[in-house]
Chain A
């Protein structure tokens, strides 16, 4: 089918609606955020600089700390669950149940999740109460669901399954034959894991970690519902700036915060994509 110039133009026409849609509803808002972030509002410093110095630096640090720690713990536990699935793969149906529930839990977030944790680990929580029965007084120890470690706990709910979902396909890629081949060459099980399996899994593990960090960093609803601890997070601060009931004339700062968020998330996602592509190599 030789296409003349008019036919080629007609073929390209098919992509116009989608392209226009993305440009108008994704490109334009993004462009607006960055344009406002770089607009000098007559203040001494560019909003972009001010957004990451002074009082807001603390917000970014807090957000990133929360993201990194919840992702690190999520990585360890999520990997453990994924490995458990592989070690117990002879149990029929177990894998489907765990992977299935993981895909639900990984997308869970927001208000219902916050509610559930308030009901469990809040001041009047069920688990708090039950733990007190066995002499573990969480509240007495200063644990609050709305503080840093409380939010980490809540984030783990979707971080762990996300890591599991990323790692299970990677573990599938490790063929049994490789383990047997290594053993026939005289390697111990530990050597196999250390020198063969782990390096192969590393891109998937690192990529998964970056995905978790991006996921936690962008989370808004959960933190919002847990209020006090959430107000130090960058997404919630952006909201305070741009909902209009606070300091006027400083709205560009809100956009600068948003712009920095996009920059950080972009870097994380690019990192994830590159690592995921490397991990894919072993699956062919």
Chain B
């Protein structure tokens, strides 16, 4: 019995090593000013500096890209909440079949790979509404769709715990209109779900490369890819920061998600 337990521990340890090594390597490359060839046991802890990261932060291109990405992420999160919450509340109040229909529709984005979506979008909108292609705001609907499976599931989990019909009936019978009911009654009750969905939307937008790349919009992941030439250490450092940030976001959203279902 003890042997088999040890075996499973070995599996986990090997997996852990596989997961940590690339991250450590990325950190080492980013923050240590010694080329790999010259690495030796005696200088392994020397010449560590966060200067490459600071150089990146000082780069005006970085600031522009970061600003764009943050704005897009916020817009995606807000637009998703505004579009999905009323729709899903309506579905819950309507019938289980409506709920199912919305659920199936939220899985559709998995079926269309990002590359197919963006070439179709570019082709379709180029000759009709080129505004969406020229202006970065066109990225928002595409990002909403990319994040849809995750945001929908999160909001669904939150709404499922509420006694929606009672809340709505009570609110309406006290004279509140639909908008007031949504904003003042329902939304506060699914606060955690909305927060989780927003974190997920953030993570998606900060990591999304395909769509922005093909539409030639200068978002943060694009900056990451193209700054590699000029400032390799800095861009690797930035990559590491993004990974840490995504980890924090996912951890926070998991924490929120757990508080929803308890």
A binding-site residues for B, Cβ under 8 Å: 11, 14-15, 17-18, 21-22, 24-26, 28-33, 36, 77, 80-81, 83-85, 87-88, 94, 98, 100-101, 103-105, 107-113, 115-117, 119-121, 124-129, 156-157, 160, 214, 217-218, 220-221, 224-225, 235, 238-239, 242-243, 254-255, 258-259, 261-262, 265-266, 269, 273
Instruction: Report which of A112, A126, A156 forms a contact with B224, defined as CB distance below 8 A.
Output: A112
Contact with A along B80-115 (1 / 0, CB 8 A): 000110110011011000100010010111111111
Q: Tell whether A258 pairs with B115 under 8 Å between CB atoms, given A101-B19, A119-B25.
A: yes
- Report whether B142 and A116 are in contact in the complex, using a CB–CB cutoff of 8 Å: no
Q: Tell whether A11 pairs with B90 under 8 Å between CB atoms, given A21-B141, A32-B123, A100-B251.
A: yes
Q: Is B15 an interface residue (CB 8 A)?
A: yes
Q: Tell whether A235 pairs with B115 under 8 Å between CB atoms, given A88-B12, A98-B12, A110-B221.
A: yes
CA distance A171 to B208 in the complex (A): 32
A103: nearest chain-B partner, CB-CB: B250
In the assembled complex, which residues on chain B have CB atoms less than 8 Å from the CB atom of A28?
120-121, 124
In the assembled complex, which residues on chain B have CB atoms less than 8 Å from the CB atom of A100?
250-251, 254
Q: Is B28 an interface residue (CB 8 A)?
A: yes
- Report whether B23 and A116 are in contact in the complex, using a CB–CB cutoff of 8 Å: yes
Max count, chain A CB within 10 A of own CB: residue among B24, B102, B110: B110
In the assembled complex, which residues on chain A have CB atoms less than 8 Å from the CB atom of B93?
11
Give the distance to chain B from A70, nearest Cβ to Cβ, in Å.
14
CA distance A160 to B15 in the complex (A): 9
CA distance A217 to B221 in the complex (A): 21
- Report whether A124 and B36 are in contact in the complex, using a CB–CB cutoff of 8 Å: yes
Max count, chain A CB within 10 A of own CB: residue among B91, B209, B224: B209
- Report whether B11 and A225 are in contact in the complex, using a CB–CB cutoff of 8 Å: no
The 5 closest A-B pairs by CB, nearest first: A29-B120, A218-B113, A120-B25, A14-B90, A116-B22
CA distance A273 to B104 in the complex (A): 10
Q: Is B183 an interface residue (CB 8 A)?
A: no
CB pairs A–B below 8 angstroms (9 shown): A28-B124, A30-B117, A36-B123, A85-B12, A88-B9, A115-B224, A157-B22, A243-B214, A265-B111
CA distance A218 to B235 in the complex (A): 25
In the assembled complex, which residues on chain A have CB atoms less than 8 Å from the CB atom of B123?
29, 32-33, 36, 242, 255
Q: How many residues of B sit at the interface, in one of the four size bands? A: 35 or more
In the assembled complex, which residues on chain B have CB atoms less than 8 Å from the CB atom of A156?
18
Give the distance to chain A from B259, nearest Cβ to Cβ, in Å.
14
Q: Tell whether A255 pairs with B119 under 8 Å between CB atoms, given A100-B254, A119-B28, A125-B25.
A: yes
In the assembled complex, which residues on chain A have CB atoms less than 8 Å from the CB atom of B22?
113, 116-117, 119-121, 157
227-262 of chain B: CB within 8 A of chain A:
228, 235-236, 239-240, 242-243, 246-247, 250-251, 254
CA distance A125 to B39 in the complex (A): 11
- Report whether B112 and A84 are in contact in the complex, using a CB–CB cutoff of 8 Å: no
In the assembled complex, which residues on chain A have CB atoms less than 8 Å from the CB atom of B254?
100, 103
CA distance A84 to B117 in the complex (A): 38
- Report whether A126 and B28 are in contact in the complex, using a CB–CB cutoff of 8 Å: yes
In the assembled complex, which residues on chain A have CB atoms less than 8 Å from the CB atom of B210?
220-221, 235
- Report whether B221 and A84 are in contact in the complex, using a CB–CB cutoff of 8 Å: no
Give the distance to chain B from A86, nearest Cβ to Cβ, in Å.
9
Q: Tell whether A14 pairs with B86 under 8 Å between CB atoms, given A104-B247, A107-B246, A242-B214.
A: yes
Q: Tell whether A127 pairs with B5 under 8 Å between CB atoms, given A111-B239, A269-B107.
A: no
A14: nearest chain-B partner, CB-CB: B90
Contact with A along B139-176 (1 / 0, CB 8 A): 00110110000000000000000000000000000000
- Report whether B11 and A84 are in contact in the complex, using a CB–CB cutoff of 8 Å: yes
- Report whether B119 and A269 are in contact in the complex, using a CB–CB cutoff of 8 Å: no
Q: Is B213 an interface residue (CB 8 A)?
A: yes
Q: Is B207 an interface residue (CB 8 A)?
A: yes
Instruction: Report which of B11, B94, B107, B213 forms a contact with A80, defined as CB distance below 8 A.
Output: B11
Q: Tell whether A11 pairs with B87 under 8 Å between CB atoms, given A111-B225, A238-B119, A262-B112.
A: no
Give the distance to chain A from B26, nearest Cβ to Cβ, in Å.
4
